[in-house]
Amino acid sequence: MPFIIAKVNVPVSKEQETKIKSIVGKAIENVPGKNENYLLFGIEDNYRFYLRGNGEQKAAYIQADIFGNEDHIGFDRFGEGITVAFSNVLGIPPENIYIKFDDIKAWSVCGQFIDRRMYG
């Protein structure tokens, strides 16, 4: 299950949120075995950022947590897709979009513990 949480310093309408979610949902397909059906996505708008000492520049910080891909296959194309989504929909310049990728090694869902080592 990929989990994508984004913080942006601009307002986001429901329509924009849905559009970004769909683009990110398509982009996650670049990561083997992942698709929108398993994507957990969230966005926090109007976040206070100071980028390069300036609080007026449009900016985004996106955290992408992904289970079961320690070799980061497809992360480059996935990152490109995320950048396109936030740039095109919210007008955030690509140079102000920062994406942090984290490997999920283990987690629990539906009360079940899942460890990556069980699948590798």
pLDDT at 70 over 90: no
- What residues does 100 pair with on adjacent strands? 63
Distance of CA 99 to the CA centre of its chain: 7
Residue-range domain boundaries for the chain: 3-119
pLDDT tens digits, 7-31: 999 999 999 999 999 999 999 999 9
- Domain covering 3-119, topology: Macrophage Migration Inhibitory Factor (3.30.429)
pLDDT at 120 over 70: no
Q: What is the pTM of this model?
A: 0.89
d(C-alpha 31, C-alpha 42), whole Å:
19
